[in-house]
Amino acid sequence: MCAGRMRAVRVRVSSWTASFRYAGFMIGFQPTLPMPPLSTVYGLISAAKGEAVTPEDTFVGYTFVSRGRGVDLERILEWGPGSAKWNVVEREFLVDVELTLYLDPAMAPYFERPHFQLLLGRSSDLATVESVDMVDLEYVEDTEGVFGQSIYTDAPTGYSVATLYALPVYFTDDIPRVARGVQPFMMIPETYRATGSGYLDSDREDGGIIVQIHTAESLGLV
């Protein structure tokens, strides 16, 4: 992306609960990631459109907020070659969440009338589209502002705690599905002040936040 202003559709999605499986844990306690990875976001967009959406179809930027977390018991089916059995695991989940998406304006109609039910994790984590608005994002460079509540490939310094995760960008819709674009991502759940570059949405109730916009080019997929 280059300097200047960029037109985007801002979609606000909310849910009572959300859970984003940490793939490194296969049995026992199942923790949740602090926010949805890009693969979950592209899955959400695909559900809204009714067909597979990849980084070649739309850029993506987002912020995510949760207001609590808990642990539930969940019955799962464990299966392998020639066998399957039921088991009960502890599943961590997030509570009272809000996802704000910044997408190509062409994605707007799909969230005004989603093709499939939208989920933020499990089939029980039903999500609702709260608003769909057109906004102008302003590119700012080496600017002091508010960052965070988002996922980064390269975040401005100044955050107190952040964890690196090896995550895919999206999955193909083949059987079996194939992970594409696996690389390190940094998730920063809190907001913080720093000097950096990105796209500023000044038309937010929280006073504005600078987000990183992810594209097929910036993610090294083309």
Residues 6+ apart with CB under 8 A from 39: 167, 168, 169, 170, 171, 179
Query: Does residue 111 fall inside a structural domain?
Result: yes
Bridge partners for 100 per DSSP? 12, 63
Residues 6+ apart with CB under 8 A from 138: 5, 199, 200, 202
Cβ 208 vs Cβ 136: under 8 Å: no
Query: Does residue 129 fall inside a structural domain?
Result: yes
| Domain that residue 140 falls in | 5-76+87-211
Task: Let me know how long the chain is.
Answer: 222
pLDDT in tens, 169-217: 999 988 888 999 999 999 999 999 999 999 999 888 888 899 999 999 9
Distance CA(173)–CA(164), nearest Å, equals: 26
pLDDT in tens, 135-175: 999 999 999 999 999 999 988 888 877 888 999 999 998 88
Cβ 32 vs Cβ 94: under 8 Å: yes
Kindly compute the dihedral angle of the four CA atoms of residues 33, 36, 42, 43, in this order, to the nearest 10 degrees: 70
Tell how strand 179-180 and strand 209-211 pair up: unpaired
Query: Does residue 133 fall inside a structural domain?
Result: yes
Query: Does residue 173 fall inside a structural domain?
Result: yes
Helix or strand or coil: residue 41? Answer: helix
Query: Does residue 102 fall inside a structural domain?
Result: yes
Query: Does residue 216 fall inside a structural domain?
Result: no
Query: Does residue 221 fall inside a structural domain?
Result: no
Say which CATH number the domain at 15 has. Answer: 3.30.70
pLDDT in tens, 8-28: 999 999 999 999 988 766 667
pLDDT in tens, 57-110: 999 999 999 999 999 888 877 777 888 888 888 889 999 999 999 999 999 999
User: Cα(first)–Cα(last) distance of the chain, in Å?
Assistant: 14
Q: Please give the pLDDT value at position 3.
A: 59
Q: Please give the pLDDT value at position 29.
A: 82
Q: At residue 147, what is the residue type?
A: F
Overall number of domains in the chain: 1
Query: Does residue 219 fall inside a structural domain?
Result: no
The first and second tokens of residue 42, run together, are 């592209």
